[in-house]
Amino acid sequence: MARISIFGIGYVGVVAAGCLAKDGHTVIAVDVDPGKIDAINSGLSPIVENGLDDLIKEVVSAGRLSATDDVAYAVENTDASFICVGTPSAPDGSVGLKFVEIVCQNIGEALANKESFHSVIIRSTIVPGSCEGTCIPTLEKASGKTAGTEFGIGYYPEFLRESTAIEDYYDPGLIVFGAMDDGTRAILTELNENLNCKIHMVDLRTAEMVKYTSNTWRAVKVTFANEIGNIAKSCGLDGQEVMEILCSDDKVNISPYFMRPGFAFGGSCLPKDVRALRHLAAEKDTPAPLLNAVLDANEAQIVKAQSMIVAAKAKNVSMIGVSFKPGTDDMRESPLAELAARLIKDGINVEIYDPFVHEAYANDNSTAGRGNDVIPDLKQRLNPDLSAVIDGSDMIVVGNIYKDTLPQLDAAIAAKPMVDLTRISRARASGGGYDGICW
Protein backbone atom coordinates (compact mmCIF):
# COMPACT_ATOMS: atom_id res chain seq x y z
CA MET A 1 0.00 0.00 0.00
CA ALA A 2 1.16 3.53 -0.77
CA ARG A 3 1.48 6.61 1.42
CA ILE A 4 0.04 9.60 -0.41
CA SER A 5 -0.28 13.30 0.38
CA ILE A 6 -2.98 15.22 -1.46
CA PHE A 7 -2.58 18.97 -1.86
CA GLY A 8 -5.92 20.72 -2.18
CA ILE A 9 -8.99 19.57 -0.26
CA GLY A 10 -11.40 20.65 -2.96
CA TYR A 11 -13.74 18.48 -4.97
CA VAL A 12 -11.11 16.31 -6.68
CA GLY A 13 -8.80 16.21 -3.68
CA VAL A 14 -11.32 15.15 -1.06
CA VAL A 15 -12.91 12.47 -3.28
CA ALA A 16 -9.49 11.07 -4.18
CA ALA A 17 -8.40 11.16 -0.54
CA GLY A 18 -11.48 9.27 0.62
CA CYS A 19 -11.32 6.61 -2.08
CA LEU A 20 -7.57 6.04 -1.75
CA ALA A 21 -7.91 5.67 2.02
CA LYS A 22 -10.84 3.27 1.55
CA ASP A 23 -8.59 1.15 -0.66
CA GLY A 24 -6.13 0.81 2.24
CA HIS A 25 -3.62 3.54 1.40
CA THR A 26 -2.50 6.03 4.05
CA VAL A 27 -3.48 9.55 3.00
CA ILE A 28 -2.55 12.98 4.33
CA ALA A 29 -4.68 15.82 2.94
CA VAL A 30 -3.05 19.26 2.83
CA ASP A 31 -4.77 22.64 2.55
CA VAL A 32 -4.47 26.24 3.75
CA ASP A 33 -8.15 26.41 4.74
CA PRO A 34 -8.52 25.59 8.46
CA GLY A 35 -12.23 24.90 7.97
CA LYS A 36 -11.50 22.10 5.51
CA ILE A 37 -8.73 20.68 7.70
CA ASP A 38 -10.94 20.66 10.79
CA ALA A 39 -13.78 19.06 8.83
CA ILE A 40 -11.61 16.17 7.61
CA ASN A 41 -10.02 15.55 11.01
CA SER A 42 -13.52 15.52 12.54
CA GLY A 43 -14.58 12.84 10.07
CA LEU A 44 -16.71 15.23 8.01
CA SER A 45 -16.75 16.01 4.32
CA PRO A 46 -16.08 19.69 3.49
CA ILE A 47 -18.27 19.41 0.36
CA VAL A 48 -21.66 17.92 -0.50
CA GLU A 49 -21.23 14.82 -2.66
CA ASN A 50 -23.26 11.61 -2.74
CA GLY A 51 -21.80 9.02 -0.35
CA LEU A 52 -18.82 11.14 0.68
CA ASP A 53 -19.92 11.88 4.26
CA ASP A 54 -19.99 8.19 5.21
CA LEU A 55 -16.76 7.48 3.33
CA ILE A 56 -14.79 10.24 5.06
CA LYS A 57 -16.13 9.23 8.46
CA GLU A 58 -15.13 5.60 7.83
CA VAL A 59 -11.54 6.22 6.70
CA VAL A 60 -10.79 8.90 9.32
CA SER A 61 -12.07 6.56 12.05
CA ALA A 62 -9.82 3.83 10.65
CA GLY A 63 -6.81 6.15 10.91
CA ARG A 64 -6.04 6.11 7.19
CA LEU A 65 -6.93 9.75 6.44
CA SER A 66 -5.87 12.93 8.22
CA ALA A 67 -5.49 16.58 7.23
CA THR A 68 -2.87 19.24 7.95
CA ASP A 69 -1.45 22.53 6.71
CA ASP A 70 2.14 21.35 7.35
CA VAL A 71 3.68 20.77 3.91
CA ALA A 72 7.02 19.48 5.18
CA TYR A 73 5.32 16.93 7.45
CA ALA A 74 3.09 15.69 4.62
CA VAL A 75 5.95 15.26 2.16
CA GLU A 76 8.28 13.63 4.67
CA ASN A 77 5.68 11.07 5.69
CA THR A 78 4.46 10.02 2.23
CA ASP A 79 5.88 8.48 -0.93
CA ALA A 80 3.97 10.60 -3.43
CA SER A 81 2.14 13.92 -3.52
CA PHE A 82 -0.94 14.58 -5.64
CA ILE A 83 -1.54 18.21 -6.62
CA CYS A 84 -5.30 18.78 -6.83
CA VAL A 85 -5.66 22.55 -6.61
CA GLY A 86 -7.84 24.66 -8.90
CA THR A 87 -6.70 26.18 -12.20
CA PRO A 88 -9.19 29.01 -12.73
CA SER A 89 -9.00 31.04 -15.91
CA ALA A 90 -6.54 33.93 -15.99
CA PRO A 91 -7.92 37.34 -17.09
CA ASP A 92 -6.86 36.66 -20.70
CA GLY A 93 -8.56 33.25 -20.78
CA SER A 94 -5.38 31.21 -20.41
CA VAL A 95 -5.13 28.49 -17.80
CA GLY A 96 -4.42 29.93 -14.35
CA LEU A 97 -1.40 28.17 -12.86
CA LYS A 98 -0.97 30.42 -9.81
CA PHE A 99 -2.15 27.85 -7.26
CA VAL A 100 -0.33 24.97 -8.95
CA GLU A 101 2.89 26.98 -8.98
CA ILE A 102 2.55 27.88 -5.29
CA VAL A 103 2.06 24.23 -4.33
CA CYS A 104 4.99 23.14 -6.51
CA GLN A 105 7.15 25.74 -4.77
CA ASN A 106 6.08 24.48 -1.33
CA ILE A 107 6.58 20.82 -2.21
CA GLY A 108 9.95 21.60 -3.80
CA GLU A 109 11.17 23.27 -0.62
CA ALA A 110 10.13 20.21 1.37
CA LEU A 111 11.86 17.88 -1.12
CA ALA A 112 15.13 19.74 -0.57
CA ASN A 113 15.28 18.25 2.92
CA LYS A 114 14.03 14.75 2.06
CA GLU A 115 16.56 12.01 1.42
CA SER A 116 14.29 9.31 0.00
CA PHE A 117 12.74 9.33 -3.48
CA HIS A 118 9.39 11.11 -3.74
CA SER A 119 6.97 11.42 -6.66
CA VAL A 120 5.04 14.60 -7.45
CA ILE A 121 1.89 13.87 -9.46
CA ILE A 122 -0.24 16.68 -10.86
CA ARG A 123 -3.97 16.04 -11.14
CA SER A 124 -5.05 19.64 -11.70
CA THR A 125 -6.27 20.42 -15.22
CA ILE A 126 -3.39 22.09 -17.08
CA VAL A 127 -2.77 22.70 -20.79
CA PRO A 128 -0.12 20.71 -22.68
CA GLY A 129 3.37 21.85 -21.78
CA SER A 130 2.48 23.06 -18.27
CA CYS A 131 4.31 20.25 -16.48
CA GLU A 132 7.48 20.85 -18.50
CA GLY A 133 7.17 24.64 -18.65
CA THR A 134 5.99 25.48 -15.13
CA CYS A 135 5.72 22.59 -12.70
CA ILE A 136 9.07 20.90 -13.26
CA PRO A 137 11.16 24.12 -13.33
CA THR A 138 9.46 25.33 -10.14
CA LEU A 139 10.03 22.03 -8.35
CA GLU A 140 13.64 21.77 -9.49
CA LYS A 141 14.51 25.33 -8.50
CA ALA A 142 12.92 25.01 -5.05
CA SER A 143 14.36 21.57 -4.30
CA GLY A 144 17.76 21.81 -5.98
CA LYS A 145 17.06 18.36 -7.43
CA THR A 146 16.50 16.98 -10.93
CA ALA A 147 13.08 15.76 -12.03
CA GLY A 148 12.91 12.17 -13.23
CA THR A 149 16.01 11.06 -11.37
CA GLU A 150 16.12 12.64 -7.90
CA PHE A 151 12.36 12.96 -7.60
CA GLY A 152 9.50 11.61 -9.69
CA ILE A 153 7.05 13.48 -11.91
CA GLY A 154 3.69 12.42 -13.27
CA TYR A 155 0.51 13.86 -14.73
CA TYR A 156 -2.63 11.91 -13.86
CA PRO A 157 -5.87 13.65 -14.89
CA GLU A 158 -9.21 12.83 -13.29
CA PHE A 159 -12.51 12.27 -15.08
CA LEU A 160 -14.91 12.38 -12.14
CA ARG A 161 -18.41 13.78 -12.54
CA GLU A 162 -19.82 15.70 -9.63
CA SER A 163 -22.72 13.90 -7.87
CA THR A 164 -21.41 10.50 -9.12
CA ALA A 165 -17.73 10.93 -8.23
CA ILE A 166 -17.28 7.88 -6.01
CA GLU A 167 -19.03 5.65 -8.52
CA ASP A 168 -16.86 7.08 -11.31
CA TYR A 169 -13.71 6.53 -9.25
CA TYR A 170 -14.36 2.79 -8.98
CA ASP A 171 -15.88 2.35 -12.45
CA PRO A 172 -13.86 4.70 -14.68
CA GLY A 173 -14.42 5.12 -18.39
CA LEU A 174 -10.87 6.33 -18.98
CA ILE A 175 -7.53 6.00 -17.19
CA VAL A 176 -4.54 7.85 -18.58
CA PHE A 177 -1.31 9.11 -17.06
CA GLY A 178 2.14 10.27 -18.03
CA ALA A 179 5.32 9.78 -16.02
CA MET A 180 8.98 10.65 -16.41
CA ASP A 181 10.29 7.80 -14.28
CA ASP A 182 9.67 4.17 -13.40
CA GLY A 183 8.95 4.89 -9.73
CA THR A 184 6.06 7.23 -10.48
CA ARG A 185 4.81 4.91 -13.22
CA ALA A 186 4.77 2.02 -10.73
CA ILE A 187 2.77 3.98 -8.14
CA LEU A 188 0.14 5.04 -10.67
CA THR A 189 -0.10 1.52 -12.06
CA GLU A 190 -0.61 0.09 -8.57
CA LEU A 191 -3.43 2.54 -7.86
CA ASN A 192 -5.29 1.60 -11.04
CA GLU A 193 -4.45 -1.99 -11.96
CA ASN A 194 -7.45 -3.54 -10.19
CA LEU A 195 -10.00 -1.28 -11.89
CA ASN A 196 -11.99 -2.59 -14.85
CA CYS A 197 -10.57 -0.15 -17.38
CA LYS A 198 -7.64 -0.07 -19.78
CA ILE A 199 -4.67 1.94 -18.50
CA HIS A 200 -3.16 4.33 -21.05
CA MET A 201 0.50 5.12 -20.23
CA VAL A 202 1.63 8.12 -22.27
CA ASP A 203 3.99 11.08 -22.09
CA LEU A 204 3.19 14.10 -19.92
CA ARG A 205 1.98 16.34 -22.76
CA THR A 206 -0.30 13.68 -24.21
CA ALA A 207 -1.92 13.10 -20.81
CA GLU A 208 -2.42 16.85 -20.41
CA MET A 209 -3.98 17.05 -23.87
CA VAL A 210 -6.31 14.09 -23.30
CA LYS A 211 -7.81 15.87 -20.30
CA TYR A 212 -8.48 19.06 -22.28
CA THR A 213 -9.76 17.10 -25.25
CA SER A 214 -12.22 15.25 -23.03
CA ASN A 215 -13.56 18.38 -21.34
CA THR A 216 -13.70 20.42 -24.53
CA TRP A 217 -15.47 17.62 -26.42
CA ARG A 218 -18.19 17.55 -23.78
CA ALA A 219 -18.54 21.33 -24.04
CA VAL A 220 -18.79 21.13 -27.83
CA LYS A 221 -21.48 18.44 -27.66
CA VAL A 222 -23.66 20.47 -25.28
CA THR A 223 -23.43 23.55 -27.52
CA PHE A 224 -24.09 21.55 -30.68
CA ALA A 225 -27.22 19.97 -29.20
CA ASN A 226 -28.52 23.34 -28.05
CA GLU A 227 -28.01 24.88 -31.49
CA ILE A 228 -29.85 22.00 -33.16
CA GLY A 229 -32.60 22.29 -30.54
CA ASN A 230 -33.01 26.01 -31.15
CA ILE A 231 -33.13 25.57 -34.93
CA ALA A 232 -35.57 22.67 -34.62
CA LYS A 233 -37.90 24.66 -32.41
CA SER A 234 -37.88 27.60 -34.83
CA CYS A 235 -39.14 25.13 -37.47
CA GLY A 236 -41.88 23.84 -35.17
CA LEU A 237 -39.99 20.65 -34.44
CA ASP A 238 -38.99 18.91 -31.22
CA GLY A 239 -35.23 19.35 -30.77
CA GLN A 240 -34.93 16.55 -28.23
CA GLU A 241 -36.63 14.08 -30.55
CA VAL A 242 -34.20 15.05 -33.33
CA MET A 243 -31.19 14.50 -31.07
CA GLU A 244 -32.52 11.26 -29.60
CA ILE A 245 -32.77 9.83 -33.10
CA LEU A 246 -29.23 10.98 -33.86
CA CYS A 247 -27.93 9.38 -30.67
CA SER A 248 -29.55 6.05 -31.53
CA ASP A 249 -26.53 5.56 -33.81
CA ASP A 250 -24.14 4.17 -31.20
CA LYS A 251 -21.49 3.27 -33.78
CA VAL A 252 -19.86 6.72 -33.59
CA ASN A 253 -19.27 6.57 -29.84
CA ILE A 254 -21.43 9.56 -28.90
CA SER A 255 -22.56 9.82 -25.29
CA PRO A 256 -26.25 10.78 -25.18
CA TYR A 257 -25.77 12.43 -21.78
CA PHE A 258 -24.37 15.57 -23.39
CA MET A 259 -26.40 15.32 -26.59
CA ARG A 260 -29.56 16.62 -24.96
CA PRO A 261 -30.81 20.10 -25.90
CA GLY A 262 -31.28 22.30 -22.87
CA PHE A 263 -29.58 25.09 -20.99
CA ALA A 264 -26.01 26.34 -21.03
CA PHE A 265 -23.06 24.35 -19.69
CA GLY A 266 -21.16 25.48 -16.62
CA GLY A 267 -19.17 24.15 -13.68
CA SER A 268 -15.53 24.10 -12.69
CA CYS A 269 -14.19 22.49 -15.87
CA LEU A 270 -15.91 23.12 -19.19
CA PRO A 271 -16.03 26.96 -19.36
CA LYS A 272 -12.46 27.57 -18.22
CA ASP A 273 -11.03 24.66 -20.19
CA VAL A 274 -12.58 25.80 -23.46
CA ARG A 275 -11.15 29.27 -22.77
CA ALA A 276 -7.72 27.84 -22.05
CA LEU A 277 -7.62 25.55 -25.09
CA ARG A 278 -8.84 28.40 -27.30
CA HIS A 279 -6.08 30.62 -25.90
CA LEU A 280 -3.50 27.90 -26.46
CA ALA A 281 -4.58 27.53 -30.10
CA ALA A 282 -4.18 31.29 -30.60
CA GLU A 283 -0.71 31.20 -29.03
CA LYS A 284 0.22 28.45 -31.48
CA ASP A 285 -1.29 30.45 -34.37
CA THR A 286 -3.64 27.52 -35.04
CA PRO A 287 -7.17 28.38 -36.27
CA ALA A 288 -9.90 27.02 -33.99
CA PRO A 289 -13.20 28.47 -35.23
CA LEU A 290 -15.41 26.01 -33.37
CA LEU A 291 -13.73 26.74 -30.06
CA ASN A 292 -14.21 30.45 -30.68
CA ALA A 293 -17.91 29.81 -31.23
CA VAL A 294 -18.58 27.51 -28.27
CA LEU A 295 -18.53 30.10 -25.49
CA ASP A 296 -20.40 32.64 -27.63
CA ALA A 297 -23.11 30.05 -28.26
CA ASN A 298 -23.22 29.14 -24.57
CA GLU A 299 -23.66 32.80 -23.65
CA ALA A 300 -26.40 33.07 -26.28
CA GLN A 301 -28.28 30.25 -24.53
CA ILE A 302 -28.25 32.21 -21.26
CA VAL A 303 -29.43 35.34 -23.10
CA LYS A 304 -32.20 33.30 -24.72
CA ALA A 305 -33.46 32.02 -21.37
CA GLN A 306 -33.30 35.53 -19.92
CA SER A 307 -35.29 36.91 -22.86
CA MET A 308 -37.95 34.20 -22.53
CA ILE A 309 -38.48 35.08 -18.86
CA VAL A 310 -38.38 38.86 -19.27
CA ALA A 311 -40.85 38.66 -22.17
CA ALA A 312 -43.41 37.06 -19.86
CA LYS A 313 -43.28 40.19 -17.64
CA ALA A 314 -43.14 38.13 -14.42
CA LYS A 315 -42.21 40.10 -11.31
CA ASN A 316 -41.60 37.13 -8.98
CA VAL A 317 -39.76 34.10 -10.33
CA SER A 318 -39.12 30.78 -8.61
CA MET A 319 -35.97 29.04 -9.82
CA ILE A 320 -35.64 25.30 -9.38
CA GLY A 321 -31.91 24.72 -9.11
CA VAL A 322 -29.00 27.16 -9.02
CA SER A 323 -25.91 24.90 -8.91
CA PHE A 324 -24.35 24.07 -12.26
CA LYS A 325 -25.97 20.60 -12.21
CA PRO A 326 -28.29 18.62 -9.93
CA GLY A 327 -26.77 16.51 -7.16
CA THR A 328 -24.04 18.97 -6.13
CA ASP A 329 -23.68 22.28 -4.29
CA ASP A 330 -21.01 23.50 -6.72
CA MET A 331 -21.76 27.01 -8.02
CA ARG A 332 -18.61 27.52 -10.08
CA GLU A 333 -19.57 29.24 -13.33
CA SER A 334 -23.14 27.96 -12.96
CA PRO A 335 -25.23 29.30 -15.85
CA LEU A 336 -28.27 29.15 -13.57
CA ALA A 337 -26.58 31.45 -11.06
CA GLU A 338 -25.66 33.80 -13.89
CA LEU A 339 -29.25 33.74 -15.13
CA ALA A 340 -30.58 34.47 -11.64
CA ALA A 341 -28.18 37.40 -11.26
CA ARG A 342 -29.30 38.89 -14.58
CA LEU A 343 -32.98 38.54 -13.67
CA ILE A 344 -32.33 40.27 -10.34
CA LYS A 345 -30.57 43.07 -12.19
CA ASP A 346 -33.64 43.34 -14.44
CA GLY A 347 -35.69 44.09 -11.32
CA ILE A 348 -37.23 40.63 -10.98
CA ASN A 349 -37.52 39.07 -7.53
CA VAL A 350 -35.94 35.59 -7.59
CA GLU A 351 -36.48 32.88 -4.97
CA ILE A 352 -34.49 29.66 -5.31
CA TYR A 353 -35.14 26.01 -4.48
CA ASP A 354 -31.92 23.96 -4.52
CA PRO A 355 -31.70 21.18 -1.89
CA PHE A 356 -27.96 20.63 -2.24
CA VAL A 357 -26.89 24.26 -2.03
CA HIS A 358 -29.31 24.75 0.87
CA GLU A 359 -27.86 21.69 2.64
CA ALA A 360 -24.37 23.16 2.44
CA TYR A 361 -25.55 26.38 4.12
CA ALA A 362 -27.69 24.53 6.68
CA ASN A 363 -24.68 22.41 7.70
CA ASP A 364 -22.47 25.52 7.95
CA ASN A 365 -20.00 23.98 5.50
CA SER A 366 -16.93 26.16 5.07
CA THR A 367 -17.44 25.84 1.32
CA ALA A 368 -21.16 26.75 1.28
CA GLY A 369 -21.96 28.75 -1.82
CA ARG A 370 -18.63 27.68 -3.33
CA GLY A 371 -17.95 29.34 -6.62
CA ASN A 372 -20.81 31.83 -6.41
CA ASP A 373 -19.63 35.30 -7.29
CA VAL A 374 -22.74 36.67 -8.98
CA ILE A 375 -25.56 36.43 -6.40
CA PRO A 376 -24.45 38.37 -3.30
CA ASP A 377 -27.54 37.44 -1.23
CA LEU A 378 -27.79 33.80 -2.32
CA LYS A 379 -28.32 32.40 1.18
CA GLN A 380 -31.31 34.69 1.79
CA ARG A 381 -32.91 33.69 -1.53
CA LEU A 382 -32.77 29.95 -0.83
CA ASN A 383 -35.96 28.29 0.43
CA PRO A 384 -36.15 24.54 1.18
CA ASP A 385 -39.98 24.58 0.94
CA LEU A 386 -40.85 23.86 -2.70
CA SER A 387 -44.54 24.62 -2.21
CA ALA A 388 -43.79 28.03 -0.74
CA VAL A 389 -41.36 28.83 -3.55
CA ILE A 390 -43.92 27.94 -6.22
CA ASP A 391 -46.86 29.66 -4.48
CA GLY A 392 -44.94 32.92 -4.07
CA SER A 393 -44.05 33.28 -7.73
CA ASP A 394 -45.60 34.50 -10.98
CA MET A 395 -43.45 32.12 -13.04
CA ILE A 396 -41.49 28.90 -12.49
CA VAL A 397 -38.07 28.47 -14.09
CA VAL A 398 -36.82 24.87 -13.98
CA GLY A 399 -33.04 24.67 -14.27
CA ASN A 400 -32.20 21.34 -12.58
CA ILE A 401 -34.28 18.18 -12.24
CA TYR A 402 -34.78 16.78 -8.74
CA LYS A 403 -36.96 13.67 -9.10
CA ASP A 404 -39.04 14.25 -5.97
CA THR A 405 -40.14 17.66 -7.30
CA LEU A 406 -41.49 16.42 -10.64
CA PRO A 407 -45.14 15.67 -9.66
CA GLN A 408 -45.52 19.05 -7.98
CA LEU A 409 -43.90 20.92 -10.87
CA ASP A 410 -46.03 19.11 -13.44
CA ALA A 411 -49.18 20.01 -11.52
CA ALA A 412 -48.10 23.64 -11.19
CA ILE A 413 -48.13 24.21 -14.96
CA ALA A 414 -51.90 24.49 -14.93
CA ALA A 415 -51.73 27.39 -12.48
CA LYS A 416 -48.82 29.51 -13.67
CA PRO A 417 -46.37 29.84 -16.58
CA MET A 418 -43.19 27.80 -16.66
CA VAL A 419 -39.90 28.16 -18.54
CA ASP A 420 -38.25 24.76 -18.61
CA LEU A 421 -34.49 24.68 -19.28
CA THR A 422 -34.02 20.96 -18.68
CA ARG A 423 -37.38 19.21 -19.49
CA ILE A 424 -39.38 17.84 -16.61
CA SER A 425 -41.31 15.45 -18.85
CA ARG A 426 -40.95 14.05 -22.36
CA ALA A 427 -44.72 14.45 -22.64
CA ARG A 428 -44.34 18.24 -22.44
CA ALA A 429 -43.71 20.52 -25.41
CA SER A 430 -44.02 24.29 -25.70
CA GLY A 431 -47.57 25.51 -25.67
CA GLY A 432 -50.07 27.19 -23.36
CA GLY A 433 -48.25 28.41 -20.28
CA TYR A 434 -45.33 26.02 -20.73
CA ASP A 435 -42.23 27.05 -22.72
CA GLY A 436 -39.29 24.69 -23.23
CA ILE A 437 -36.05 26.30 -24.23
CA CYS A 438 -35.31 23.81 -27.06
CA TRP A 439 -38.52 21.85 -27.55
Instruction: Indicate which residues carry an active-site annotation.
Output: 269
DSSP-derived secondary structure for 109-146: HHHTT--S--EEEE-S---TTHIIIIIHHHHHHHHS--
C-alpha to C-alpha distance for 388 and 412, rounded to whole angstroms: 12
Describe the strand order of the beta sheet including 395-398 as a list of residue ranges. Answer: 349-353, 316-320, 395-398, 418-420, 434-436
Count CB-CB contacts under 10 A for residue 93.
Answer: 17
Quick one: which of 266, 256, 259 has its CA closest to 227? 259
Quick check: 83 and 121 in contact, CB under 8 A?
A: yes
Q: Which residues, including other chains, have CB under 8 Å from residue 284's CB and lie 6 or more apart?
A: none
Distance CA 325, CA 289 (A): 27
CA distances from 164 to 159, 171, 248 (A): 11, 10, 24
Q: CB burial class (10 A; 0-12, 13-18, 19+) of residue 27?
A: buried
Rg of the chain taking only CA atoms, in angstroms: 23
Burial track 205-233 (b if 16+ CB lie within 10 A, e otherwise):
bbbbbbbbebbbebbbbbbbbbbbbbebb
The residue type at 320: I
d(CA 429, CA 84): 43
Residue of 71, 67, 150, 80 lying closest to 109 (CA atoms):
71
For the chain, the first-to-last Cα distance in angstroms comes to: 52
Q: What separation in angstroms does the CA of 355 have from each of 330, 360, 404? A: 12, 9, 11
Q: How many CB atoms within 10 Å of residue 427?
A: 7
Does residue 131 sit in helix, strand or coil? helix
d(CA 334, CA 355): 16
- CA 59, 65, 68: angle at the middle one, nearest 5? 150
3-state class (DSSP) for residue 1: coil
